[in-house]
Structure 1
Amino acid sequence: MTYISLIEKLDAFVRKYYRNKALKGVLLATAIVTGGFLLLAVTEYFGRFGVMGRTVLFWSFTILAAGVIGKMIIIPLLHIARLGKIISHEDASKIVGDHFPEVKDKLLNTLQLQGQIANHDEKSDLNVDLLIASVEQRTLELSPIPFTSAIDIKENARYLKYAIGPIVVLFSVLIWRPSVVSEPAERLIQHRTSFEAPSPFRFVVVSVPLKAPVGEGFDFVVRVEGSVVPSTVYLEEGENRYRMERLRGGLFKYVFTSLRSDAYFRCSANGWNSPEYTLLALPVPRVLEFSLGATPPSYTGLEYIDQTNHGDVVVPEGTTIRWECRVKDSDEFRIRVGDSLVETENITGRIYAASWRAEATVPYWLVPENKDLGAVDSMRFSLRVVADRRPVIKVVELEDSTTRQLRYFTGGVSDDYGFTKLVFAVKKAGEKSPNYTLLDRPSGKTDEFFFTWDMKSLELSAGDAVEYWLEVWDNDGVNGFKSSKTSTRVFSAPDENELLEERDEANEEIEASIEDAVEKAEELRREMEAFKERLREEREMDWQDKRALEELLKKQEELRKKIDEVKKANEIKNEKLNEFSPQEERIMEKQNELQKLMDEVMSDELRELYKKMQELMEAMDPDEIQKQLEKMDVGQDALEKELDRALEQFKQLEWEVKMDETVKKLKELAEKQRDLAEKTEKEELPSEDLKSAQDSLNKAFEDIQKKIDELEKDNKELENPNPMLNSEDDEKSIQEDQKESSEELDKGKEKKASEKQKSAAEKMEELAQRMESMQMESESEDEQEDMDALRALLENIITLSFDEEKLMGELGKTENQDPRYVIHGQTQRSLKDEAKMVADSLFALSLRVRQLAGAVNREIGLVNHHMEKALGGFGDRKTAQITMNQQYVMTSFNNLALLLDEALQQMQKKQECKNPGSGNCSKPGGSGSKPSPKAGDMKKMQEALGKKLEAMKKKMGENSNKGESGKRGSGMSKELAEMAAQQAALRQMAKQKAQELNEDGSGDGGEMKKIAEEMEDLERDLINRNVDIATLERQRNILSRLLEAEEAERIRGEKDERKSRVGDQTLHPDSPQMIDYLRNKANELELLRTVPADLVPYYRDKVNDYFNTLGDKPEVLIP
């Protein structure tokens, strides 16, 4: 063992020495501190010192405890770490020597010897080696001795009792009465807090924690516990004292309302106070201000929406919304839209922004938050998104009253924001895709549309079907364009049978309406006669007369409406009949002629008379009403005749159409029978199918037989029955062949059945041809007979006209007392009787001839009327009255001549057009129509007539200067007659042009009608030989108006094919038969050069016969 080992053993001894000392200090310090604490607690428990006393005691105990712990525990622990002043090796050796007797001073001496060695000076005489040897010897001797055993730690056990005693007492007190320790300990620890003396009860706060958001209320609830519970508890806040509300179970409540800042208060009861409480007012995160901006999709056309502090918004789908919010007391800000969180951007410390694309209606919240309260004050708003709805389309469809192929659509479309297109779709049966017609794009959000659909371009046939609808697209820029369409409608063209049924029903209604109109006309005429008789017997009209007149006018109006209805119904029937199954050109021509007849049944003159009668009723003048009724007599009589004529020709045309249909069906049945015969011969079908097909054809032929029977029945009802083929034997033979073929098919004998079928087919075809031939031959013969009759009547009318003219001339030379006056009266009566026979014959002819204008019967009525008036004048020998009426008679005769001649020309032209290759037709091989006159051509002809007028005025002036103003030569009379005829023709052209221009309802013919009226005034001047300055001025006015009409016509841009040469309009060549007839009457035409001057009006109406011999003169005008 070395000296170093010896030192290490001493160091170990020192450390154990201080450990023992620290352990002793712990036991003693525990005893001192615990005992002191118990003493201090008991002292405070019983002494209840004030703040100063508790502060002294607290710090005294704290200093004492710190000193004891530092001295007894902390310092020994520091010495163990060799910190501070510790004992030396010499002191330690003494302690070891004292403990071990065998050591005594050895250890100390060894340390001293080692010290001498360490302090040895080379100059000294000390023997170092001897010292070292001595130290080593001693060290070796001391090595077996355990120095640390000198300290016995167990000896500290005697101090344990001092520590355990206070601890046991402390724990006993805590278990027995903890308040003895805890309460004073609390008061001592909170020595600066004032504590009241313990009361018999205590306050326990129930509503914890004591925190509430700023601006909100807080229910403070405290429970009073103790042996005695006070009945009243107060809450003291500053100088304010509030009584708390008592609840059950010792609970008391006070409500803090609208907390603004921290509240400091305590509870008080029976003189005892609770500790002071603090209610913390926590700042609430909130939105101070926000703005909302919405940008709708551009296609909507809506303006930008800007709202401040108003969060509810209604926007269209696809709108971009942006919020900007300014918050307070908020650590974080969020926006929740429905179930989604919107990412927000912190622009500045207190301002947040976010954007969202609105696609559905949802609520949304603005949510500010902070760490104390979280999200307690969120703001809820509504985001209502209006989806782009489908466009709406509504349409009303109207069918044209005259044709089923013309439809009118009117309707409206509406959408949220606008449209891209509107189309009309049509799909014919069998087509895969429809055809679209792009209509005008609707504008705005709502718009109306009007559309006319003419199906004629589809060229539908009977039985065809077509689907159609309207479809509109919106301008949705978010989801894509959406469309809506009307319900798909189907137009089915009626088949042949339906068309025939409709026609037959319409014909029955029209026929019944005409018969009803005839009855009304007859009844009206009888009542007019009776009313006239009443007026002759009365000088003044009373209320009964007025009422009778009102009834008369009412019936006149009813008759007018009935006639208009008949005319319209027939027009509509014709239109509908020809829509899907066009009639033959021959039948269509007759339909047009009959329609024209119906249009003219009630003349414009009679309508004007009806209107005039309405005006006279207000004046209640019997004389004027009497005169008006007399004027209406002629028109009323003509109306009845025209109605009878229309009814008869309607029946005739109906019969002809049915005959054509029967022939057509018979031909079709013959073709079907022939086809079935071929199939039977080739045995293409089973016997049962062939038998069924033959039975069907048998039934079809029975239907045709019924049609033939109906034709025979209808023919007998006509005034002039048509010749009909006696087909009973042919029908019977056909029936027998069909019956035998069916029997042979029953027996399975197809060959024999086929022979009978072929025979039946041939007989059917032969019968159809015979019926058709007979109808055509009969029609041709009837036309020739009618033309011959018309020529004869024309000759009779001309003869009567000359006879009337001759009588008028002789009467003008006869004095009132001359015995010949009576003879002249008898001659007038004879002429009246002859005119009556001509009138009856002409009316009978008009029932057959459609070309005769309706004016024929009116002119006949005027002839009879004025002849009756002329006869009445013979009794009193009123020559002036007789002459005036005779002149009217001649005018009507000449008008009749013009009308009959025009009808005859039309019939001749029609007959010529039936011969293919004839050059006299506007459409060779068929019927044509007179070209429409043009304003420019009429202007040129009026200019030529004006030049003649100026020359005539100049010639009349020269004659006046020569003293010949009282007479005119035959040449001048002829020229006046020619000019009157030319002007009459021009007037007719103008009238025709006005009618054509007004056909479309545009009213463009109004100006031409005024021109015709001025032409009539000029014509009257020529007839009355009144050619003066006013006449020339009227001529210039007509030219000016024609010039304006020519310009208007140019603007309308009539098609080139409607243009024709002036000669084509001015020259109307007569038929060779009429030219021969007029040449045979050359002696009558010579009278034109010799008639007296006062008979010039005759020339106005006679010129047509005269100019038939002058067809090579281009200036001659014939209407």
Structure 2
Amino acid sequence: MSSLELTYRSFLSRITEVGKKDILFAALRRAVMMLLAFTILAFLLISLEAVFELSVTLRKIIFFGFISAFIATVVTILAGALSSVSRLHRPETVTRYARRIGGSYPQIKDNLVNAIQLYSYTNKSDHIFSNDLAAETISQVNEQAKPLDFKSSVSFKKNNSLLIFFVSAFSVFTLLMFAFPNTFLAAANKIVNYNFTFVDNTLGIAFEVKPGNVELSKGESLDVTALIKFHDPAYTTDEVTFHTREVTPDGIEISENDEKIKAASNNEFKTTIKNINSQTIYWFEYRGVKSSPYTVTITNRPVIKSVKITVYPPAYTKLPSRVIESGEITTIAGSTIYVEVDASDDLSRSMIQFAGATAPGTMEITGKTARGSFVAVSNGTFTINVVKDFNGKELTATNPKDFTVRVFPDQFPGISIIEPDNSDLNVQGKRELLVRSRVTDDFGFTKMRIGYKTVSSRFGPADKDYRYSDIPVKNTDATGLEVPFVWNLSTLNLGSEDVVEYFVEVYDNDGFSGPKMSRSEVKRLIYPSIESLLKKTEKTKDEVENSLKTAMEEAMELKKDLDELKDKMEKNPEEMGLNDPKKNQEMQQKLENIQNNLNSTQQKLDELMKDLQQNSQLSQETLDKYMELQKMFQQIDSKELREALKKLQEAMKNMNKDQLKEAMKNFKFDEKNFKKSLEKTMELLNKIMNEQKMGELTQKLDDIAKKQDALKEETKSTDKNDKNALNDQSKKQEDVKNNMQDFQKQMKELSENFKKAGDQQMSKEMQKMLEEIMKKMLEQKMQNSKQNLEQGNQEQSQKQQEQISQDLNDLNQQMQDMLQSMMDKENSKMMEKMQEFLERLKEMSKKQQELMDESESFDKNTDPKDFQENKKQQDKLQNELSNLTEEMMSMAQQMGMSPMMSKNLGDAFNEMQKASEQLSKKEGQSANKSQGNAKESLDKAAEKMQQMCQSGKPGNGKKPGQGLQQLLEQLQQMIAKQQQLNNQMQGMMPNGNQGKLSQEQMAQMQKLAMEQQQIKDGVNQLNEEFKKQQEVDGKKMLGNLDQVQKDMQEIIKDLQENNVTPETKKRQEKILSRMLDFQLSTREKDFEQKRESRPGKNFERSSPPEIVISKPNIINGVNQDALELQKEDYTEDYELLIQKYLEKIKSVNR
């Protein structure tokens, strides 16, 4: 820093000090002047009060005005001083103080100002003088100014005279105040205590009167309270005067009354104005000081006679509506509270005022009745009041009603995984896993799903996000379930050292705030290294083969032993030791050993099977053989076999020869039929699996094509300069590409499955389609489209997307044709088989007719050989029917065979059996009648088979047995539409605005009416179809949809008339409930019939049935009782005990 700049800074610092002193001087001067002015003002105001004895209002204005003015003046002085300080370093301020200093010291005069200005010029680039010359000049001024004290230019002595004047004035003011205390000091005291009215300038009195101005109905009484406050806290009084004056509405005085009131407590007085029939003015008085007058106005206010509160819980809870008898409402969140008020007069309006709400809810008025509703969301209180119009003035009720609402939220569902029970599970070699979850909720569930992701993998990246698979839930209205789910692990493509996290989510059925989700604990699947299992796999493979061979030998030995036992029993029972207790005991022990051997063999097979299924190195062919062998042992260890062995043991214990012979006679085992049944079952399962997979892939390709078409349209409508949109579309194109890659992979796998199943034609067609996909280069086209979108080449990408969409649609059509071809092929085979069944039934009917014709002439004189021959042919025909029935029953589910046909076949068999027995007894006429009944049943079965063949022809567009299922699917769609319409109607509930609907609201109602009409038309058509199906199947439906149609017509009428009431909502809920009940009953009936006609088969493992732990307590409002229990804060165990007690009582009452 140069000496020139140092000199300048020194000047600037000294001048600034002068400025600060000057600002302080000015501030002090203003402060003294302010104090002087306010002293004079205070004296004038006090004098004014002393002379004129101002009112309370004027004293209050004077007090606050004086204080406000004083504070404002102080703030102004301080603000001015601070503002001056902030401007001290400005050039103009520095120059002004430099001139003032020069004026105080003649030896420097203007030299200080010139030096400062000269320094400023040196900092400019265009100055015309020498810097050295300027520095020399400034240095000389500095030498002259060094011995001078610049701050001496500002002197505080100038304020002395003003200060003396202020002190004099203040002294005079103080002297007057204390010289005349009863005048000036008392007046000052009255101004400070402005709220009080003073007596003799010493006693301040103030009244606090309640209730003040009021409005009452004629004849009512009014309790009045007055609290007298004194300026002196120690002052009390025991008596005041209470004045009342009755006046007409025009102000003419009718009467006046005053009375002495004694104190109820310290300076507090209470009294009652009774039987007020006219306008009354009242006030209090003490020692001549009166309170403000208050007026009691007589009005004819309305009176609330009754309030009816009805609670409608949300539909999903299935709780009944109920009327509240008390002032406390306890309900579930989302309930509609319907209010109906009856009053004494015609009303102009009514309102529901919630605590804390800014505006009340309005109600619909009809004469003396008001109606309204609201949805209970949270705890709170509300007041119901009514208003009537009285000569242009609104009068509210004298008795508003208060209510309390306690809202219990729909609780979150609970969930835990109970199987597998370990946190880390080894899944090496497993293709599926049983995951059993226990879920609970207060009202039910909507869906469950399992979430999973690969957290570590040796051969690929880990998943960032969880993937999900839905878990079917059938008993959605239960409150406690154990839900098993067979998880197909093959889709995870697990490899060595892979680790997968998984959990289960459940969503409740909260229809008000939306389904709430809860998640179970997170568990892990671990796939150990395959290298560590290779040696064990090879070793176990040999052990398993030897073990199964031994088990098979043991089983055959068992059969041999049992045959020998039977032969010995027939030849010589005594050799079995029946008469020897020791030998008898040995034989019983041998039978017990046989049973134990069966148990141990089965257990060993189960363990071996489990180990083998975990080993992915086994060939499929070998595994299939082991599976067949295991099924064979399951057939051997059957219920019938165990019962036979049990009877053998009982016979030996009882030492009963005849019983033992009968038990040995009933022991049978048909190995050939068992193997044949197993092969058929496995063949059918493989077909079902392939067909399902084919359908899934067809749907997947259709979805891919739709996504690509949607992306094409989206790209077409996107601005080419919108980079964000193009990037999003690029990601979508990548997703479509990944889906296509996955589709190709699954299709290749399915082709191999068809090949293994022996369907070479379908396998070749799928391979041909895969080759065509490769030729079209779809993957490359999608990649190019993605890159063009990323680079902003919208037009080029759009052209590529057009080609991709065309290719996908072509492939989609090809896939659809392939699926249809496969289904037609299967349908054709089925039709051929059904036609074969029909011809065989006709042939049997013909044979039965011939036998019936022969037996028609049988009587007691007929040759016994004729009876025997007819019986022989009848038994042969019965055996043919038995074989045919077995074949038909094995295909009953595929054909969709009706229960009536099963009954006809059973009746025919029974009648043949009866005819055979009657022929044995030579009862010709009875046998002929039974044969006629058998033929009639055969003809009925043939007729139904003929109908099935006709309905299953390609020209009819139906697959055998598919009619009822299609109708149920259509009904499910109608239920979903009705549920959606019900949800839209939630916002259309009555809220007191009837007659004031906007055009938009009325248009919305008309739209909803049209939608309801469409649903009604669909239900009408479905109802007719169900009735036709009933005739075809011969099954009686549990109800119909007639009432549903009537209810829908009522809703349509309400919507068209813009009149939506709570009854409309209840009717909607009934519609949905009836549709669900009809669907459920029809499915249960269908399931029951299918169960009766389904033969024993071995299917691929599917999820086991759910276990219902607790059912919904919705009968007679048990759930509502549970809500009421929560108010009492009972313990959870005690609440459960009480609730069971309530259920028991209500079940007895029913």
Tell me if both proteins adopt one fold, taking TM over 0.5 as the criterion: no
Q: Report the TM-score when normalising by structure 1.
A: 0.30
When Rg is computed on C-alpha atoms for both structures, the one with the higher figure is 1
Q: Relative contact order (C-alpha < 8 Å, sep 6+): which is higher?
A: 2
